[in-house]
């Protein structure tokens, strides 16, 4: 097997000899040295190494300039910056320009080897990614994710690549793009597939409860803590934990998550001892985390710990060629769930679907398909069944009641939601004769959540019950 190549660039010959003596046996690699940025560039032009370790302070051309030149030649090159303590601000700037990491002089031997091993692992992942791209696979359905566009092929390749490792993954993308499906795909393709996959929807758990849910607690830790409780990290031991919408958690829990990622251990509330956990962390967010870092709402060090391998789920409007596949898949799925005969989409409706803005992405499309199945009286689904006005291809909502274009955005949005819920929930209750449990099961949500929707939109289930039962 060909050894990986590490390029070390430093203007001190003693440092070059020391690093070569340390790295070749420890990393099992071949080390090439360069005593100036100019000679390093010549090496880079001939053949890119697997990793470049570059000193920040050098005469004529410094490490920052070499980094930019190297990334210009090889955008995928993994670069680690070496810096003295006084140059850490420059090193952070270098990371923003594309460096993978930085290490400070004087080196701690174990830390140096650990960090460079991680950097080489990144290079291996990138090589595997490029190999998969060259294979040019054209899957339509991948681990329950539907799509064959170039954007989705890249997502599939990234999932396959990272699933073989235990690296932390941060999945970003707008709401409704399928971040949860990507997380489940990573787990199901990994060596942890036979162990637990624990999903935590962070925003839905109150802040004062989330900490105890994640890390557990000991009896007597707080009022009503009458017995020990195992946290979700312990439940996921040996498997994976998916922290959905992690951008919404508070800074206190962020600090504790950082400890888990750094030390692979947790401390339950009220306990004096830490517990080791073997958990693969997958996180997702629809937030702009760099912006939240700038406003001190999200820890920068936690972001870098999470963002080891980033995967971005593309919005539906950027992969419109997948819409026909998605529609076909969703019709088949929901016709079965709603016990309706298989339906087909008219050409006029498909035109509308292909040109709609889809701000809610696949989740919004799924809602439209469900509504269409419910309201189409025969085999063909036409625009009016999906909520599009028959005479206006630009319309995306129910064209009845208020003139939406005359309302402010928030009120118009709420009116569309009101109309949808009134018709959708009313149809379900009609079919089930007011049976809330059965209706909730048909639409795939919990009974309590279904009741909350009824209360919010002023829908009374009893009016849908048979007259004899109401009397």
- State whether residue 32 is helix, strand or coil: strand
Q: CATH number of the domain at 5-131, out of 3.50.50.60, 3.40.50.1970, 4.10.320.10, 3.40.50.2300?
A: 3.40.50.2300
Domain locations along the chain = 5-131, 143-314, 318-468
* pLDDT number for residue 137: 42
Q: CATH number of the domain at 143-314, out of 3.40.50.170, 3.30.70.1350, 3.90.550.10, 3.40.50.300?
A: 3.40.50.300
Q: Which residue is it, tokens 């709420």? A: 414
**By C-alpha distance, which of 127, 25, 115 is closest to 79?**
115
Residues in contact with 96: Cβ distance below 8 Å, sequence separation at least 6, in sequence order: none
Q: Specify the DSSP element, H or E, that contains 241.
A: strand 240-244
**Could you state, in chain order, the average pLDDT of each consecutive group of 10 residues for the chain (471 residues)?**
88 92 92 94 90 91 89 84 76 78 84 89 71 49 84 92 94 95 96 95 87 88 81 95 95 92 90 90 95 94 94 92 89 91 84 84 94 91 82 38 51 66 79 84 80 78 60 40
Cα–Cα distance for residue pair 461/436, rounded to 1 Å: 7
Burial 170-199 (b: 16+ CB within 10 A, else e): bbbbbebbbbbbbbbbbbbbbebeebbbbb
* pLDDT number for residue 453: 82
Cα–Cα distance for residue pair 387/356, rounded to 1 Å: 12
* pLDDT number for residue 397: 39
Fold match between domain 5-131 and domain 318-468: no
Cα–Cα distance for residue pair 380/229, rounded to 1 Å: 53
Decide if 99 contacts 81 (C-beta within 8 A).
yes
**By C-alpha distance, which of 143, 149, 148 is closest to 162?**
143
- Name the CATH topology of 318-468: Helicase, Ruva Protein; domain 3 (1.10.8)
Tokens, residue 52: 């470049």
DSSP for residue 461: G
Cα–Cα distance for residue pair 296/210, rounded to 1 Å: 20
Decide if 245 contacts 200 (C-beta within 8 A).
no
């Amino acid at each position: 097997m060909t050894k990986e190549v590490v390029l070390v660039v430093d203007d001190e010959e003693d440092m070059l000899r020391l690093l070569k003596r340390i790295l070749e046996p420890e990393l099992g690699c071949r080390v090439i040295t360069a005593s100036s940025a100019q000679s390093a560039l010549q090496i880079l032009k001939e053949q890119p190494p697997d990793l470049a370790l570059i000193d920040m302070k050098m005469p004529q051309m410094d490490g920052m300039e070499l980094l930019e030149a190297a990334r210009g030649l090889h955008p995928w090159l993994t670069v680690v910056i070496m810096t003295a303590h006084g140059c850490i601000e420059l090193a952070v700037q270098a990371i923003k320009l594309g460096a993978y990491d930085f290490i400070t002089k004087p080196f701690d031997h174990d830390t140096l080897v650990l960090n460079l091993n991680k950097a080489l692992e990144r290079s291996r992942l990138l090589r595997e990614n490029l190999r998969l791209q060259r294979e040019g696979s054209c899957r339509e359905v991948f681990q329950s994710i539907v799509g064959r566009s170039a954007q989705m092929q890249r997502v599939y390749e990234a999932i396959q690549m990272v699933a073989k490792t235990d690296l932390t993954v941060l999945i970003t993308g707008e709401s409704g793009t399928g971040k949860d499906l990507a997380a489940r795909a990573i787990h199901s393709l990994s060596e942890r597939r036979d162990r637990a996959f624990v999903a935590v929807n962070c925003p839905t758990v109150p802040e004062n409860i989330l900490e105890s849910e994640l890390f557990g607690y000991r009896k007597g830790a707080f009022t009503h803590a009458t017995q020990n409780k195992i946290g979700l990290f312990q439940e996921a031991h040996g498997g994976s934990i998916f922290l959905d919408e992690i951008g919404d958690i508070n800074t206190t829990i962020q600090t504790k998550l950082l400890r888990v990622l750094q030390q692979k251990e947790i401390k339950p509330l009220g306990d004096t001892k830490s517990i080791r956990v073997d958990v693969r962390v997958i996180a997702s967010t629809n937030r702009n985390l760099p912006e939240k870092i700038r406003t001190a709402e999200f820890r920068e060090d936690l972001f870098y710990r999470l963002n080891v391998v980033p995967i971005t789920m593309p919005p539906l409007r950027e992969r419109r060629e997948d819409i026909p596949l998605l529609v076909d898949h969703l019709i088949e799925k929901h016709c079965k769930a709603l016990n309706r005969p298989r339906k087909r989409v008219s050409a006029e409706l498909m035109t509308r679907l292909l040109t709609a803005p889809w701000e809610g992405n696949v989740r919004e499309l799924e809602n439209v398909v469900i509504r269409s199945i419910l309201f189409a009286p025969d085999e063909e689904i036409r625009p009016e069944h999906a909520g599009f006005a028959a005479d206006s291809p630009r319309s995306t909502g129910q064209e009845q009641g208020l003139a939406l274009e005359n309302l402010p955005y928030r009120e118009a949005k709420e009116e569309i939601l009101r109309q949808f819920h009134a018709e959708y929930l009313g149809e379900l209750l009609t079919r089930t004769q007011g049976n809330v449990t059965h209706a909730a099961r048909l639409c795939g949500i919990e009974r309590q959540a279904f009741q909350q929707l009824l209360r919010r939109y002023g829908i009374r289930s009893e009016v849908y019950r048979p007259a004899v039962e109401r009397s």
